[in-house]
């Protein structure tokens, strides 16, 4: 284990907890909320030696223990078997703390591992908790964790206001290069949530670090990000959730491979490798999902091998793959239809990409390069915004 890195949970348990001995705490966490010894936040924070009053746990998408596999599978309220503490699900029809609970707690403690991509519900579950705190005079404490795909590189377009949803509430780039604590600061200040916010910061973390630099075991923050390699390519391949092409769900390596029964894998891999994108090699592959899209069907496509994570632009690699499949198979390529993450009218690809521009580019056979150029302009704009909210 890296002796240099101390995450927010560890700092809280070591000393910060003393500030909250007279408060009633709600704790938003999941299976990846562990310390360097893989001890879970629920165990650490309910230790009698700390003397904390835990009013309840809050569970994000997939549940407090990561038990729910797929999207749009809600978690019911429950009692955590390990600790006996009540769990309120925040992945349900409302996706926020019920008003009936506000008299039962004073502080919301957030300890969630993000994956560094805008299209991920944990940051917005945190934002919804912050809104409740602002409305009812509660405090939010975010226990910070590293961005696993580094805190420097930014990729992809800005979300447009008309396309906000539970997978994107604010105008940030696809790969944002921020920690959860930094996102909380930006949500609170730039986007004016205005709650009483404290961040327990990381100690010894370098913005240039990838997960592979941290000497810490990876605990999947959600079931379909089983490895740090999946998080690395996710800013690009997540867009396949908005198509009828499989993003590899139902296999052991989701988001690292994409395909469909009609694709010729060798031809697609050759076309993509000819573009000589940095830090990546496309290998023809075949996989058979056990559930979700094309369950039980052999899908040909490509496996995305990251050859140099510091050279990789995952957003470009994913969008280029999507655009290439649509160009090669215009009669067979299809978009996924609603519903998607509680949205029943708008196209999933528009919600995922935060803009209709990806869909219209493909439907109109517009040049890929023009869209990528405008995305770079968005990155330059976002760099200026996020600079005011960085902690490291």
pLDDT band at 67 (very low <50, low <70, confident <90, very high): confident
For residue 274, list its beta bridge partners: none
Lookup: tokens for 318: 């994913």
> Was domain 8-217 assigned CATH 3.40.630.30?
no
Mean pLDDT, residues 32-45 taken together: 97
Exposure pattern of 263-280 as b/e (b: 16+ CB <10 Å)?
bebeebbebbeeeebebb
Instruction: Give residue-wise pLDDT tens across range 341-385.
Output: 988 899 999 999 999 999 999 999 999 999 999 999 999 999 999
ω before 339 within 30° of 0 (cis)? yes
Nearest to 350 by CA among 167, 176, 125, 170: 167
| 158, pLDDT greater than 80 | yes
In the prediction, which pLDDT does 6 show? Answer: 98
In the prediction, which pLDDT does 71 show? Answer: 66
In the prediction, which pLDDT does 191 show? Answer: 98
Lowest mean pLDDT among 13-17, 165-169, 191-195, 339-343: 339-343
Task: Give the start-to-end residue ranges of the domains of the chain.
Answer: 8-217, 228-355
Pairing verdict, β 53-59 and 24-29: parallel
| 279, pLDDT greater than 90 | yes
3-state SS of the chain?
A: CCCCCECHHHHHHHCHHHHHCCCEEEEEECCCCECCCCCEHHHHHCCCCCCCEEEEEEECCCCCCCCCCCCCCCCCCEECCCCCCEEEECCCCCCCCCHHHHHHCCEEEEECCCCCECCCCHHHHHHHHHHHHHHHCCEEEEECCCCCCCCCCCEEEECCHHHCECCECCCCEEECCCCHHHHHHHHHHCCCCCCEEEEECCECCCCCCCHHHCCCCCCCCCCCCCCHHHHHHHHHHHHHHHECCECCCCCCCECCEEEECCCCHHHHHHHHHCCCCCCEEEEEEEECCCCCCCCCCCEEEEEEEECCCCCCCHHHHHHHHHHHHHHHCCCCCCECCCCECCECCCCHHHHHHCCCHHHHHHHCCCCHHHHHHHHHHHHHHHHHHHHHHCCC
Cβ 159 vs Cβ 216: under 8 Å? no
| 315, pLDDT greater than 60 | yes
Distance CA 53, CA 311 (A): 47
Backbone conformation region of residue 272, classed left if phi is above 0, alpha if psi is from -120 to 50, else beta? alpha
In the prediction, which pLDDT does 93 show? Answer: 81
Exposure on the CB side of residue 113, measured as CA atoms within 13 A: 28
| 42, pLDDT greater than 70 | yes
| 308, pLDDT greater than 90 | yes
Lookup: tokens for 187: 């949500």
In the prediction, which pLDDT does 311 show? Answer: 98
Instruction: Give residue-wise pLDDT tens across range 142-157.
Output: 999 999 999 999 999 9
Mean pLDDT, residues 204-216 taken together: 96
Instruction: Give residue-wise pLDDT tens across range 73-113.
Output: 788 888 998 899 999 999 988 899 999 999 999 999 999 99
Average model confidence (pLDDT) for the chain? 96
pLDDT band at 169 (very low <50, low <70, confident <90, very high): very high
Q: Domain 228-355 falls in which CATH fold? A: 3.90.1150
In the prediction, which pLDDT does 2 show? Answer: 45
Mean pLDDT, residues 111-134 taken together: 98
């Amino acid at each position: 284990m890296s002796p240099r890195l101390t995450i927010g949970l560890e700092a809280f348990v070591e000393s910060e907890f003393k500030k909250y001995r007279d408060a009633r705490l709600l704790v938003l966490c999941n299976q990846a909320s562990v310390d360097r010894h893989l001890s879970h936040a629920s165990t650490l924070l309910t230790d009698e030696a700390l003397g904390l009053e835990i009013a309840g746990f809050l569970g994000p998408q997939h549940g407090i223990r990561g038990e729910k596999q797929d999207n749009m599978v809600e978690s019911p309220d429950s009692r955590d078997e390990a600790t006996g503490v009540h769990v309120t699900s925040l992945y349900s029809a409302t996706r926020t703390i019920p008003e009936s609970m506000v008299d039962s707690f004073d502080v919301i403690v957030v300890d969630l591992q993000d994956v560094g991509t805008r299209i991920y519900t944990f940051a917005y579950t945190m934002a919804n908790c912050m809104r409740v705190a602002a409305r009812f005079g509660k405090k939010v404490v975010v226990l910070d964790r590293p961005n696993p795909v580094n805190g420097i590189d930014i990729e992809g377009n800005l979300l447009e206001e008309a396309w906000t949803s539970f997978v994107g509430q604010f105008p940030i780039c696809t790969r944002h290069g921020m920690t959860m604590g930094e996102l909380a600061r930006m949500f609170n200040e730039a986007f004016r949530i205005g709650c009483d916010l404290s961040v327990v910061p990381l100690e010894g973390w370098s913005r240039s670090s990838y997960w592979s630099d941290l000497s810490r075991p990876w605990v999947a923050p959600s079931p379909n990000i089983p490895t740090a390699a999946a998080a690395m390519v996710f800013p690009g391949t997540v867009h396949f959730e908005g198509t009828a092409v499989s993003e590899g769900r139902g296999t052991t390596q989701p988001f690292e491979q994409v395909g469909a029964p009609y694709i010729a894998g060798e031809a697609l891999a050759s076309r993509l490798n000819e573009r000589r994108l940095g830090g990546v090699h496309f290998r023809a592959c075949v996989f058979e999902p056990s559930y979700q899209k094309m369950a039980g069907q052999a899908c040909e496509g490509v496996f995305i091998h990251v050859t140099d994570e510091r050279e990789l632009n995952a957003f470009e690699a994913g969008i280029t793959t999507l655009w290439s499949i649509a160009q090669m198979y215009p009669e067979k390529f299809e978009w996924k239809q609603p519903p998607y993450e509680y949205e029943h009218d708008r196209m999933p690809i528009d919600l995922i990409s935060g803009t209709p521009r990806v869909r219209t580019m493909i439907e109109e056979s517009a040049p890929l390069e023009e869209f990528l150029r405008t995305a770079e302009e968005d990155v330059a704009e976002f760099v200026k915004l996020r600079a005011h909210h960085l902690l490291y």
